[in-house]
Amino acid sequence: MISIEEAITIVKEHTKPLTNHETKALKDCLGKTLAADVFSPINMPPFRQSAMDGYAVYKHDSNTYKIIDEVKAGDGHQPRLQSGEAVRIFTGAPVPNSANAIIIQEHVSIDNNTLTANNPITLNANIRPLGEQTKKDDVALKRGTKLTPAGIGFLTSLGITEVMINKPTSIALVVTGNELAKAGKPLKYGQIYESNAIMLSSALNDLGYMNVEIFSVEDDYQSTYNVLQEAISNNDMVLVSGGISVGDYDFVGKALLDLGVKQLFYKVKQKPGKPLFFGKKDDTLVFALPGNPASALSCFYIYVYTALQRVSGNEHFELLKSTAKSISNFTKKGDRAQFLKAIYNNDKVEILEGQNSSMIHTFALANALVYVPENLHEIAINDTVNVILLPIN
Ligand SMILES: Nc1nc2c(c(=O)[nH]1)N[C@H]1C(S)=C(S)[C@@H](COP(=O)(O)OP(=O)(O)OC[C@H]3O[C@@H](n4cnc5c(N)ncnc54)[C@H](O)[C@@H]3O)O[C@H]1N2
Ligand code: MOO
């Protein structure tokens, strides 16, 4: 059994950005990752731009200036100033080449066409230089940048309408178990409602992964083999739920190995999620997540999230981590490291009741996991603990 740190290192080592790219309209690229550097086709700002409402002057030794013209935002004309002359100007307007400072209107006195500056004038004050933000042909945003609303706004401000992005990652979710019934139907004795598929597909959708296909399979070797074969051959990533432990009806591990999936690790010294499997067939990544709902979701956030970010080219995206003061006591049983469902708020963290792997109600309230390393056994109120913030919207 390997440690959590070793398992995360193996996941990182074996995940690389997908090479399927496409050109798409920028307006449809929110949350998508750039597959190539984007170069700026223009200087931004494209002209010397006034940052304030006031007067553009050609500075001279006296503090009085003759006002000769006006330039407002959007104007295309370019008055030519002589030393000692000024033009009325407004925020966003092009600054005439011959002007070398802008005085804000609060700092002048006006008498007809004569302006008196009330303070000393600093050269180039309140002028946004040409290309101050981005220079023509410079890299505006690098490959691997995830497009946020600001990113889309920024590229549009450069006149860009299309970008090259990574194609959506295709993901199969394979849910195993004879005991699973569909919510909405009456439960027979021995059955439980199947909930991992919608939980994991919601977690994927929440992170922007929409290309998700769900398969269900009974605890039968041949069916498991067939469904996994189809899922692996048609997808970039396969997530399996359940059937990965050591019981007589846990067929996932055997089927994956028989299908030629290379095992990169199986079993991590952690709770929940001990029997986690990670493997690869050609370029398809396979995670077999333990079926207990809290185990499946913990493994999703700790390992699958990391893999997804790298597959999408966001290799620098990591889960946000912090430290916080515990407002709860906790005693750990056993020597596995543990992830505890918790509520983090203002540098304090509450460890929730009901941490069993089979229980999902506390996950429904949690916004964080407290990480308890192998060698830590007790958490007391006011102890500083490590917190992982869940990437949930
Ligand atoms: N003898 C041993 N038994 C078990 C061990 C072990 O080391 N030795 N490990 C335990 C641990 S830890 C875990 S975690 C589980 C993982 O088992 P599986 O991955 O094989 O999962 P299943 O047995 O299929 O299911 C476990 C549990 O979760 C429920 N489940 C499964 N799928 C769903 C679903 N889609 N929606 C809702 N609930 C689901 C299932 O009914 C079981 O109760 O193994 C332990 N056993
Ligand atoms: O590792 Mo299991 O996920 O404890 O129940």
Give the ligand whose atoms come closest to the C-alpha of residue 273: 2
* 349 and 307 both lie in a single domain: no
- Residue 66 phi, psi dihedral angles, 5° rounding: -95, 125
The whole model's pTM is what? Answer: 0.86
> Which residue's alpha carbon is at the smallest distance from atom 4 of ligand 2?
272
* 156 and 180 both lie in a single domain: no
Question: How many A from CA of 290 to the centre of ligand 1?
Answer: 6
For residue 334, give the CATH number of its domain: 2.40.340.10
pLDDT of 17 reads 87
* 241 and 261 both lie in a single domain: yes
pLDDT of 327 reads 98
pLDDT of 314 reads 79
Assess whether the C-beta atom of 290 lies below 6 angstroms from ligand 2: yes
Within a domain: residue 236? yes
Residue pair 315/268 in contact by the 8 Å Cβ criterion: no
Question: How many A from CA of 242 to the centre of ligand 1?
Answer: 6
List C-alpha distances in Å: 377 to 29, 250, 334, 380: 46, 31, 8, 10
For residue 249, give the CATH number of its domain: 3.40.980.10
Question: How many A from CA of 243 to the centre of ligand 1?
Answer: 7
Q: How far is 270 from 210, CA to CA, in rounded Å? A: 29
Phi-psi label, residue 358: left if phi above 0, alpha if psi -120 to 50, beta otherwise:
alpha
Mutate to test the pocket of ligand 2, among 295, 302, 355 (most ligand atoms within 8 A of CB): 295
* 278 and 195 both lie in a single domain: yes
Within a domain: residue 106? yes
Question: How many A from CA of 218 to the centre of ligand 1?
Answer: 14
Assess whether the C-beta atom of 355 lies below 6 angstroms from ligand 2: no
Mutate to test the pocket of ligand 2, among 246, 270, 274, 333 (most ligand atoms within 8 A of CB): 274
Residue pair 259/250 in contact by the 8 Å Cβ criterion: no
Quote the Cα angle for 283-284-288, to 5°.
145
Give the ligand whose atoms come closest to the C-alpha of residue 268: 2
Which of 333, 339, 293, 334 has its CA nearest to residue 319? 339
- Residue 56 phi, psi dihedral angles, 5° rounding: -90, 130
Within a domain: residue 208? yes
For residue 98, give the CATH number of its domain: 2.170.190.11
Q: For residue 74, give its domain range.
A: 49-128
* 109 and 161 both lie in a single domain: no
Quote the tokens at residue 233: 């051959």
* Complex ipTM > 0.85: yes
What ligand 2 atom has the least distance to the C-alpha of 298? 3
For the chain, the domain total comes to 4
Question: How many A from CA of 338 to the centre of ligand 2?
Answer: 10
* 208 and 291 both lie in a single domain: yes
Question: How many A from CA of 241 to the centre of ligand 2?
Answer: 13
* 336 and 259 both lie in a single domain: no
Within a domain: residue 223? yes
Within a domain: residue 90? yes
Within a domain: residue 138? no
List C-alpha distances in Å: 123 to 26, 56, 101, 109: 39, 11, 5, 19
HSE-CB for 104 with a 13 A CA cutoff: 7
Which of 268, 298, 285 has its CA nearest to residue 358? 298
Residue pair 51/91 in contact by the 8 Å Cβ criterion: yes
Give the ligand whose atoms come closest to the C-alpha of residue 289: 1
* 104 and 73 both lie in a single domain: yes
* 202 and 291 both lie in a single domain: yes
* 208 and 150 both lie in a single domain: no
pLDDT of 368 reads 98
Q: How many CB atoms lie within 10 A of CB 159?
A: 11
Alpha helices in the chain (DSSP H): 4-13, 149-157, 196-206, 221-234, 252-258, 293-299, 305-311
pLDDT of 280 reads 98
Residue pair 243/252 in contact by the 8 Å Cβ criterion: yes
pLDDT of 318 reads 86
Within a domain: residue 134? no
Per-residue pLDDT in tens (0 to 9) along the chain, 393 residues: 999 999 999 999 999 988 889 999 999 999 899 999 999 999 999 999 999 999 999 999 999 999 999 999 999 999 999 999 999 999 999 999 999 999 999 999 999 999 999 999 999 999 999 999 999 999 999 998 989 999 999 999 999 999 999 888 999 999 999 999 999 999 999 999 999 999 999 999 999 899 999 999 999 999 999 999 999 999 999 999 999 999 999 999 999 999 999 999 999 999 999 999 999 999 999 999 999 999 999 999 999 999 999 998 877 778 999 999 999 999 999 999 999 999 999 999 999 999 999 999 999 999 999 999 999 999 999 999 999 999 998
Measured from CB, residues less than 6 Å from any atom of ligand 1 are 175-177, 179-180, 192, 194-196, 241-246, 250, 272, 274-275, 290-293, 295, 357-358
What ligand 1 atom has the least distance to the C-alpha of 197? 35
Residue pair 197/177 in contact by the 8 Å Cβ criterion: no
Buried/exposed 311-350: b ≥16 CB within 10 Å, e otherwise: bbbbeebeeeeeebebebebebeeebbbbbbbbbeeeebb
What ligand 2 atom has the least distance to the C-alpha of 358? 5
* 156 and 288 both lie in a single domain: no
For residue 36, give the CATH number of its domain: 3.90.105.10
pLDDT of 85 reads 98
Quote the tokens at residue 76: 């295309």
* 242 and 338 both lie in a single domain: no
Within a domain: residue 133? no
pLDDT of 41 reads 98
Residue in the structure block whose two tokens are 């050591």: 246
